[in-house]
Structures are given as structure tokens and as C-alpha cells.
Amino acid sequence: MPKDGIGASTKRREDIRFLTGNGRYTDDINLRGQAYVHFLRSEVAHGRIRSIDTSAASAMPGVIRIFTAEDFGHAGGLPCGWLVTDRFGEPMQEPKHPILAEGKVRHVGDPICGIVAETLEQARDAAEAIELDIEELPAVVDMRKALEDNSVKVHDDLTSNLCYDWGFVEENKEAVNAAFAEAAHVVSVELTNNRLCANPMEARVAIGDYDPWNEQHTLYTTSQNPHVIRLLMGAFVLSLPEHKLRIVAPDVGGGFGSKIYHYAEEAFCTHVAKVLRQPVKWTSTRSEAFISDAHARDHVSKVELALDKDHNFLAIRSTTLANMGAYLSTFAPSVPTWLHGTLMAGPYKTPLVYVNVKAVFTNTVAVDAYRGAGRPEATFQLERIIDKAARELGVDGVELRRKNFIKPEQFPYQTPVAVEYDSGNFHATMDKMLELSNYANLDKRVEESRKKGKLRGFGISQYIEACGIAPSHLVGQLGARAGLYETATVRVNATGSISVLTGCHSHGQGHETSFPQIVADMIGIDASQIDIVHGDTATTPMGMGTYGSRSMAVGGSALVKATNKIIDKAKKIAAHLLEASEADIELKDGKFSVAGTDKSVDWAGVTLAAYVPHNYPLESLEPGLEETAFYDPNNFTFPSGCYGCEIEVDPDTGKVEIMAFTAADDFGVVINPMIVEGQVHGGLAQGIGQALTENCVYDENGQLLTGSFMDYTMPRADDLPVFKVDHSCFTPCTHNPLGAKGCGEAGAIGAPPAVVNAVIDALHRAGHTHVQHINMPVTPARVWAAMNSK
Amino acid sequence: MYAFDFVKPATLADAVTALGQDGAMPLSGGQTLLPTMKQRLNSPETLVSLTGITDLKGVRREGDALVIGAATTHAEVARDAAGDYPGLAALAGQIGDPAVRSRGTLGGSIANNDPSACYPAAVLGSGATIITNMREISAGDFFQGMFATALEEGEIITAIRFPIPERSAYAKFHQPASRFALTGAFVAQYAGGVHVAITGASESGVFRWSEAEAALSGNFSPDALNGLSVPAKGMIGDLHGTPEYRAHLAGVMTRRAVAAAS
């Protein structure tokens, strides 16, 4: 095996340029003659635009032109990529999402004018000289109020603020209700999944460029999926054919979902560069990011669990209000439905599940997928209700979970919520977590904390999630307006080095290191011989990008497929060179040999023959060695695992300190264990951030109170413990060639309920048994208030 | 940020002259002013930097007091006051983060009088004297509510004179996002009695908790505070904490400061 093959913890080659400040991010790109864009954004959450007078502003120094909605009359709205059908068979309400506000502004941050000037400060000066007359309208922020009959409507042309009323599985609704009516025990909890802002380190940037001589548009943008942006913007917004539109997403400084979507600023810069015959650049400020990047989560749910007298789970009923914000962001409708309802069985053999979701428009920033997307919301409901059930029934939460787990021998397992789990071993990951966290000695540690005046508790969360959403024909039936395959081209060069062109996009995931490990392993050459090319529609095959923990499971599988094609052809060439039958050719450690002989030719000998075909079977084989594969998976992959969080509460202040966090994950086959561990660390940090610190808060007028890092609390290194991470309990994915399941989101999915369960456990152990639930973020003030409320 | 002129005088007299111009504003460490300028919430025509004036910098012992130049950074106070006034040095060492402490100054902080800043607690809790280019102002007279001070137009803080207590400590509960004080208590014991100053909690800015001072002057121990509490009325309520929570924290942080100083 080569030293950097599958399973090697190879150090990330891209980190050298990132850590030395030599990455090339979109804002590092400056084109000759570029102008700067500043957006005048709404300061009110809801208002009718009476007039916009740009005459004085247009005459200001350096101003090139000011654009309003009128300049985009020819363009379509920003499209939504997923159509949800409601429980009555009707399509969701789908309002237009204009590039610049048309007639009304619908959230603080809604762009009204785009000012293009020679310098950014000139553009900002001009923005202040624009005379805006906006009639402020009452804003609707609270989802329950938005659904009231007399509510203000976010979109005048819709019948209400209800986007859809979705039921899943609708046919099971009555059976679920009947199970609850007959159950020996019913447990319920109402909870919120707090609204978040992703806050990647790099804020969004868009640079539009236009080459009139070739009628060629180029957009440099901070995207997780350049081909998706090309398709959405080209086909639906600006009517540009793909061959005249190039999207480049160079180094991208984190996305977490927020850079999946097609944003107004991208279409603006692309179009305006052509109008002005001049490159235009927009760089978001951090303040702008808070009011223009898609937000996340924001669900209000009630979840109920029915159990029989022996504590077997009979049914789950989940009712959710999901905030869409003012417009439908690219994949927003899919998050509370197909990425949430399908996970409501969790790792348990609950026979009946019914999920109802009402998606609601409000005067807030659009909400869309963020690390986990729907699965954290499902997992939070399940693991909180099971925790509460164990307390109410007076049984051990570990045993209650074990009793209801799907057993290892039951896979593949068809859930009552459409999906079929291919593999998993929940007992194994739970046992591993309990072992690594020294759960057996917990009571002793609780006592030691008590002596120090601290309340210690332990929380468990057993999760299963779905990654690599697929297959395309199924997601098409579910409403996706895109396919969800992935692509790879393996371009072998004459002397044996390889360029891999992938449709995935790395923005922190380490593809430049882990993808070559697959090819190196399969061919038996050193990984340093292989480079990854990604992030440019002009050079890479049409791919769907990186999100949903899909890159390794789907993109990696495409890479395996393409590499197998390469190996097949290389064996034919080797057979010719060695004057042997193709069936007798073996490939090992980068060398082709004839079975049972000492005849061999090395990798470079074959690749050279492919490109210098002097001795080559030209009559039956084309020269060259380059293959492309598209891979469309048969099923989702289902990573799973068990998390244990141990905390101390300071009873004087309510402050929660995480003392230990243990993650035992089943990611299937792991390509680079070190990168996987890093992905888990990042996911856990964001999951703990959601549980303890992060929160987007609007006031009743739709003003964002947490519009900067002075009030929006990102988790910091000193909020986090040293994580214990294990992925030894793996069950390979059964339907992809790598056996890989995906690891990017697990931490953010599994961590929040573990943290909250731990806090509740600590309070109950200390006698605060009246505290049934605390909403996230579990801040010191909330814990103190809960302890002191009776 | 709007365009502005920048001057960096070497003497106090030149600074006063420069500040006499229309639209001139003093700049010390800039940790509050510069972010507001970047957001275009402040638009000085001229920024007069005070950090080039040698007389405004440094920590020196004068008898029973420590005199600290207004343009001395938090990091310098944390380092140079540690021997003479460890409670004050420890407070300075907890402000913001290393970048803030390397730029932000004592004078800038108290002239701004943010109700959640740490320094006002030490200045009030030490019964310090604010020395300006015009006069000397006692701490009790200086702080006049949220972001309000006794400073007149054109008046520049040059130094703060801190009487050195027998013992002192600061206990701070962080506002988790900004890491300002959600509530902080500075406790200092002097021959004449104990001072307790609470920051971050009150809508009126930093204040002295006289009930606790009386109790601690008789018995400098956390137990002396048993049964005492700050009323919630007049405390700040925001998304990080209710008035009741801040009032409660005032008691907790005072106990912790006393315990740390004991």
C-alpha cells in the first residue's frame, strides 16, 4: 500500500498555503479597471417603496451608475430549487425573490439599490445621498402571529404567510393518533431550534467580469457549488447559456451551507459587468453578512412519544413551525420536510411516525440549510423526548434507548418515514461512547463536583443522519429541481502524474489531500503524483458541489468509478506492451505484471505509451488516458453515532462548563482519519455553539438585535473541552464503492441534545426536578432563571 | 469610514489647540471610536491622537497612590501596576482580548464610560481622582450615567490617581459575545473602609453598593454579605440577562471579589 493511501492520516497539503496567508480567496482577486459595488439595504423590516430618487447621488464624484429593480425588469427572480407539495396535494406558495426590491422591502437588509463607483467609499457616500421614500408597514416576525387570519402579509400576492402545510407520512396520521390514544405512556415536550447565522470566517464576495469580444461572462464568487450557481443564475435569472457563463469559486473560507445558495449579489455583479463593460466587485462586510446571508434552523416544535407498558416506542408525533424568512432561499423548503421528516424515526424501531410542518413567511432574512440541515432539528426532538421519557418513567436513558434500537442484524431496515437504512450498529457506538467517557464512574465525579459547589450532569445523544442525498430520480419525485449525482475526471498525464477534476468543492474539507489518497490507493502510486482541480466551471465537469456531507460518499465514489475506467484501459495497454492477455494483467503498487511471470511494466511506462503510442494497439484502443465518471447513488448514506456530554453548572451564575465530550461515530470506511477527526471537531464546536451560545434574535419590529459579534455569541476555544473522538465502530455503506458515509455534519447534528440533556441531568441530580426543558441557547441567564422558577 | 484629517501632537498644549478646531475629536486607543467610524456612525473632521504625548503615558508610584497616564494601554497597566496594585492590574488584564489590551487605554475607557466597561469599577471603587488639563475630578463626580461624564468640551484626561488599597479584587461575569462585563464587582479595602463598585448592571452606569460597603467595612468576608441584595429596579435588561439576573450577579460577583481579595 502506498504511504498516503486510504486510511492514512496524511497532513492536509492545502493547509500550508492557508496557514501562511497564501490562499487565494475571492476578495484577493482584483481585475484591471474594476469598479466597486455597495448595496443600499432596507433599514426597516417591512415597507412599501413610494419612490427612489437617485439623481443627486448619481452626480456624486466617482459614481458610475446606480441600479434599481427597474434595471432588472428582464431578469427572473432568484429561483427556489425545491418544490414541496403540501398534505392536500397542492404546491407550496412560491413568491418572487427579486434581485433588488420591487415595490416592497421585506426584511432588514433587503437590497434596494446597487451603487457602482470607482471606489467603495464613493459608492457608500452616494448611497447616503439617495432619497428613499418608504412607507413603513407593520412587520410580522413571530410565526404563530404570521399564521393568524388577520396577519400582515409578507407577500401581498400570496393568500397568506403559509408557504406549505406538509404531512408525512400523511397516510399514517390516523394510525399514529390511534396509537397515542391507546398508549400506556405519552410524553411530550415543546421546544425551539434556535435561529443561527453561519458566520464563515470569509464573508461573501462576488466579482462580475464580461468579455464583449467573446460574449463571455465570468463570476468569481464565494460558492460551495459553482455549477449549481451557473445553472440557476444562467437558466433562471439572467438567461445566459452555460458556454457563455463561467463561475469560479477559488479558495473559499468556510461555507457551512450558507454559500450553497444563489444570492442576489451574484446576479447583480454578473449582469452589471456587462452593462458597464467593466468588472464590478462586491465584498460583504460582517454587518452585511448578518442581514444578507441565509440564516438557519428557527423551528418551533412539539414532539410527542407514545410507549407501551414495557416502554417500547409505539409512535412519534411531531408538529413544527418552520421559519422561511421573507423569501424562499435556494433549498429552504426541503430542510424542514425531506431532510427532517425522513429522520424522525432516528435509530429506533418506532413503527409509526407522523410529522407535520407548516413553513411560514416572516419579515426576516431567508432561512436555509446549515451544517446538518433538518437532521439536527429531528435529532434534537428525538433525543430530548427520549431523555424526558426516561425521567418520567423512572428508567435509565441508556437502557430505554438500547431497548428500542434497531438491532445490528435488522439492516437493511425500512423505516416508517420512507428511508431504508443500509447499515449501522447503534449498540456498538453507544457502548464505545460509554466506555470512552468512563460513564461507569459518573456518580463519583458528580459527588466530587458537589463538594466544589458545582452541579455535574451527563447527557446522551444517539443520532442517525442522512448524507449524500440521492438518487436523482427519487429526489426529483420529492420536489428537487436538480439532480444529485457527482462527477470526476481522471486526467492521467504522459509521465504518470494525474490531475483529478472534480465537481465537488473544497472550502475547508481537505479534498486536495483526501481525494488523491483514493487514486493513490487504487493505482499504487504516491499521492504526491496527484492533484485536485475544483471550483471552476471552465475546467471541471458538471458537478453538484459540496454540502450535505456528500463529497466523499458521492464525489469520492465518482472518483473510484473514473479511476476504475483508467485502470481497465491501462491494463489493456499493459497487456499489449507485455504481449499477454488482459485477463492475466495484475496491478499492484503501481506496477502491471503478468500473473505467474516476472514480466512487468510500471505505471509511467503505461502512461507514456498511452500518449506516445508507438507501440500501442491503435486498431482497438484510442490513445490517451483520461476518463470521466458520473455517479448517482442508489440511496442516501446513513452515518450514525453516540455522543456523551459531561458538564458542570455553576449554581450561583447558571453558567454551564463542558467538562468532557465524547463522540463515537460510525462513518463507514474512513479515508483520512485525521481529517475526519477535524471535521468532527468543527461540527461539535458548531453544535455546542448552537446549544450554549449562538442565537439570532429579532425584536417585534423585525430589527436584528444580534447584528454583530458584540451580541451574537460565537463559540470560542475556551468554551470547548478537548474532544474524545472515535470512529472505530464502523459499518461500511453497502451501496457505494468506498463504503464511506460522510462525516461533515455529524457533530452539529448530534451535539445539541447531548448538551441540553446534560444540563437537565445536572439540575435534576441537584434536586431542581421542576426543570423539564431549557430552550437553546442554554445561556447562564436561562439556566439561572430555570433553577429559580417554581 | 468618512475621510478625516489626522494629527498626532507631541505635547498636551498642541493637542488642546488641535481639539479647539471645529469637528476635531480626541483619539486614544480607538477601540470604541474606530469601529463606530467604520460604520459611519461617527464622522470627525480631524482625529487628534493623544498617544504621542509622552506625559500621558506610564505608571508611577506617588506616595500612597499609583498615578497612571491616561494614554497607558490596558496591557501596560496589567504589567506595570501588578507590583503596587495587583487588583487593578488583574482587572486590566481581563479587558477584551490581547489585541484590545494592546491598543485600548485607561483614559479612553473612562472618558467613554460604557456602562459595561471594567475600568469604571476600579476608578470608582478606588475613590480615584481624574486629572485633566483643567482640573481634578473625584471619581464620584466624574461618572454621570451611561456614556456620560463630567468632562467639558476640550477637556482631556491626563492621568488617574488611584489610592492604593490594603487589598482588592475584581470579579467579572462576561457578557458572552462582547466579553464586556455582564456584571462586574470591584472591591477594595482601605483604612477608612471598604469600597464596592458594580459595573455592567445598572442603567445608570457604574455605581457603589453602599449597603455592601457598610457590611464589609465591619467584616471583610463573603459571609458579611449574607442577606444583602441589589434591587433589580434600575438594572439593565437585554437579551443577555434580565434586571433580576444582573442584580443577582452583583451579589455573586461581590462575594467572589471579596473571597479573592481575602
Instruction: Write out the three cell numbers for A621.
Output: 484502443
| pTM as predicted | 0.97
- Chain A hits for B242, CB-CB cut-off 8 Å, are 781, 785
Q: Are A115 and A123 in contact (CB under 8 A)?
A: yes
Q: Do A485-631 and A295-469+635-787 have the same topology in CATH?
A: yes
- Chain A hits for B244, CB-CB cut-off 8 Å, are 785
Chain centroid, CA A111 distance in Å: 25
Its CATH architecture, for the domain A485-631, is 2-Layer Sandwich (3.30)
- Chain A hits for B40, CB-CB cut-off 8 Å, are 124, 128
3-state secondary structure of A179: helix
- The answer to whether A781 contacts B245, with C-beta atoms less than 8 Å apart, is yes
Q: Of B177, B242, B249, which is closest to A713 when you measure between CB atoms?
A: B177
Instruction: Write out the three cell numbers for A520.
Output: 493513490
Quickly state the pLDDT bin for A387 (edges 50, 70, 90).
very high
- The answer to whether A780 contacts B173, with C-beta atoms less than 8 Å apart, is yes
- In this structure, the strands spanning A367-368 and A352-361 are unpaired
Tell me which residue of B252, B110, B126, B120 sits closest to B187, measured CA to CA: B126
Question: CA of A239: how far to CAs of A76, A271, B207, in Å?
Answer: 8, 10, 64
Question: How far is it, in rounded angstroms, from Cα B102 to Cα A595?
Answer: 70
- The answer to whether B178 contacts A710, with C-beta atoms less than 8 Å apart, is yes
Instruction: Write out the three cell numbers for A425.
Output: 450498529
Closest Cα in chain A, distance from residue B189 (Å):
24
Question: How far is it, in rounded angstroms, from Cα A464 to Cα A441?
Answer: 27
DSSP state of A6: T
Closest residue, chain A, to B2 (C-alpha): A121
DSSP state of A323: E
3-state secondary structure of A331: coil
User: Where in A18-62 does DSSP place strands (E)?
Assistant: 35-41, 47-53
- The answer to whether B239 contacts A697, with C-beta atoms less than 8 Å apart, is yes
Instruction: Write out the three cell numbers for A434.
Output: 460509554
Closest residue, chain A, to B241 (C-alpha): A781
- The CATH classification number of A295-469+635-787 equals 3.30.365.10
- The answer to whether B241 contacts A693, with C-beta atoms less than 8 Å apart, is no
Tell me which residue of B135, B170, B142 sits closest to B253, measured CA to CA: B170
Looking at chain A, the whole-number percentage of residues with pLDDT higher than 70 is 100
Mean pLDDT, to the nearest integer, of B21-45? Answer: 94
| pLDDT higher than threshold 70 for residue A1 | no
- The answer to whether A652 contacts B241, with C-beta atoms less than 8 Å apart, is no
Whether omega for the bond prior to residue B231 falls within 30 degrees of 0, making it cis, is: no
| pLDDT higher than threshold 70 for residue A667 | yes
Closest Cα in chain B, distance from residue A122 (Å):
10
pLDDT confidence of residue A23? 96
pLDDT confidence of residue B61? 97
Tell me which residue of A585, A590, A586, A617 sits closest to A602, measured CA to CA: A590
pLDDT confidence of residue A69? 98
Side chain identity at residue A681, one-letter code: H
Q: Of B2, B40, B245, which is closest to A785 when you measure between CB atoms?
A: B245
Query: For A614, phi and psi rounded to 5 degrees?
Result: -75, -45
pLDDT confidence of residue B154? 87
A interface test, pick of B249, B254, B255, B258 with most A CB neighbours within 10 Å:
B249
Q: Of B2, B177, B242, which is closest to A709 when you measure between CB atoms?
A: B177
Quickly state the pLDDT bin for A679 (edges 50, 70, 90).
very high
- In this structure, the strands spanning A245-248 and B65-69 are unpaired
Instruction: Write out the three cell numbers for B2.
Output: 468618512
- Chain A hits for B241, CB-CB cut-off 8 Å, are 780-781
Q: Of B1, B177, B245, which is closest to A784 when you measure between CB atoms?
A: B245
Mean pLDDT, to the nearest integer, of A202-228? Answer: 98
| pLDDT higher than threshold 70 for residue A398 | yes
Sequence spans of domains, chain A: 31-137+201-254+259-292, 295-469+635-787, 485-631
> At CB < 8 A and 24+ separation, what contacts does A62-65 make?
A62/A117, A62/A118, A62/A119, A62/A122, A62/A123, A62/A126, A63/A115, A63/A116, A63/A117, A63/A122, A63/A123, A63/A126, A64/A35, A64/A116, A64/A117, A64/A118, A64/A276, A64/A278, A65/A116, A65/A272, A65/A275, A65/A276
What does the pLDDT look like over A334-358, one tens digit per residue? 999 999 999 999 999 999 999 999 9
Q: How many CB atoms lie within 10 A of CB A789?
A: 9
What does the pLDDT look like over A466-521, one tens digit per residue? 999 889 999 999 999 988 999 999 999 999 999 999 999 999 999 999 999 999 99
Closest Cα in chain B, distance from residue A109 (Å):
15
3-state secondary structure of A38: strand
Chain centroid, CA A374 distance in Å: 10
Query: What average pLDDT is seen over chain B?
Result: 96
Instruction: Write out the three cell numbers for A423.
Output: 447499515
What does the pLDDT look like over A262-298, one tens digit per residue? 999 999 999 999 999 999 999 999 999 999 999 999 9
- The answer to whether B239 contacts A784, with C-beta atoms less than 8 Å apart, is no
Quickly state the pLDDT bin for B135 (edges 50, 70, 90).
very high
Q: What residues in chain B have their Cβ under 8 A from chain A's Cβ atoms?
A: 1-3, 39-40, 173, 176-178, 239-242, 244-245, 248-249, 252
- The CATH classification number of B54-163 equals 3.30.465.10
B interface test, pick of A454, A653, A709 with most B CB neighbours within 10 Å:
A653
Closest Cα in chain A, distance from residue B50 (Å):
26
3-state secondary structure of A280: strand
3-state secondary structure of A39: strand
Question: How far is it, in rounded angstroms, from Cα A89 to Cα A84?
Answer: 10
Side chain identity at residue B222, one-letter code: P
Tell me which residue of A307, A349, A316 sits closest to A184, measured CA to CA: A307
Question: How far is it, in rounded angstroms, from Cα B187 to Cα B194?
Answer: 7
Closest residue, chain B, to A786 (C-alpha): B245
Closest Cα in chain B, distance from residue A229 (Å):
31
- The answer to whether A711 contacts B176, with C-beta atoms less than 8 Å apart, is no
Q: Are A544 and A484 in contact (CB under 8 A)?
A: yes
Quickly state the pLDDT bin for A31 (edges 50, 70, 90).
very high
Instruction: Classify domain B5-49 at the CATH class level.
Output: alpha beta
3-state secondary structure of B110: helix
Closest Cα in chain A, distance from residue B145 (Å):
21
B167-261, what's its fold? Answer: Enolase-like; domain 1 (3.30.390)
Query: What average pLDDT is seen over chain A?
Result: 97
Looking at chain A, the whole-number percentage of residues with pLDDT higher than 90 is 98
Interface predicted TM-score of the whole assembly (ipTM), two decimals? 0.96
HEC assignment per residue over A658-725: EEEEEEEEECECCCCHHHHHHHHHHHHHHHHHHHHCCCCCECCCCCECCCCCCCCCCCCHHHCCCEEE
Closest residue, chain A, to B183 (C-alpha): A653
Domain A31-137+201-254+259-292 falls under CATH 3.90.1170.50: yes
Quickly state the pLDDT bin for A790 (edges 50, 70, 90).
confident
Question: How far is it, in rounded angstroms, from Cα A758 to Cα A660?
Answer: 11
- The answer to whether B245 contacts A710, with C-beta atoms less than 8 Å apart, is no
User: Where in B114-180 does DSSP place strands (E)?
Assistant: 129-132, 136-138, 157-163, 167-174
pLDDT confidence of residue A3? 74
Helix (H) or strand (E) holding B35: helix B33-38
Q: Of A121, A711, A784, which is closest to B177 when you measure between CB atoms?
A: A711
Question: How far is it, in rounded angstroms, from Cα A574 to Cα B66?
Answer: 85
Closest residue, chain A, to B240 (C-alpha): A781
Q: Are A62 and A122 in contact (CB under 8 A)?
A: yes
Closest residue, chain B, to A779 (C-alpha): B240
- Chain A hits for B259, CB-CB cut-off 8 Å, are none
Question: How far is it, in rounded angstroms, from Cα A699 to Cα A704?
Answer: 7
Sequence spans of domains, chain B: 5-49, 54-163, 167-261
pLDDT confidence of residue A80? 96
Q: Of A287, A695, A781, which is closest to B241 when you measure between CB atoms?
A: A781
Q: Of A124, A653, A695, which is closest to B252 when you measure between CB atoms?
A: A653
Question: CA of A11: how far to CAs of A31, A202, A527, A674, in Å?
Answer: 34, 23, 12, 8
Whether omega for the bond prior to residue A169 falls within 30 degrees of 0, making it cis, is: yes
3-state secondary structure of B18: helix
Q: How many Å is the maximal CA-CA distance in chain B?
A: 57
- The answer to whether A653 contacts B177, with C-beta atoms less than 8 Å apart, is no
Question: How far is it, in rounded angstroms, from Cα A53 to Cα A72?
Answer: 17
Instruction: Write out the three cell numbers for A136.
Output: 413603513
| pLDDT higher than threshold 70 for residue A2 | no
Quickly state the pLDDT bin for A188 (edges 50, 70, 90).
very high
Please classify residue A566 by burial: count the beta carbons closer than 10 Å to its beta carbon, then call 0-12 exposed, 13-18 middle and 19+ buried. buried
Q: How many CB atoms lie within 10 A of CB A443?
A: 12
Question: Is the dihedral angle over the CA atoms A723, A710, A196, A145 positive or is it negative?
Answer: positive
- The answer to whether A713 contacts B239, with C-beta atoms less than 8 Å apart, is no
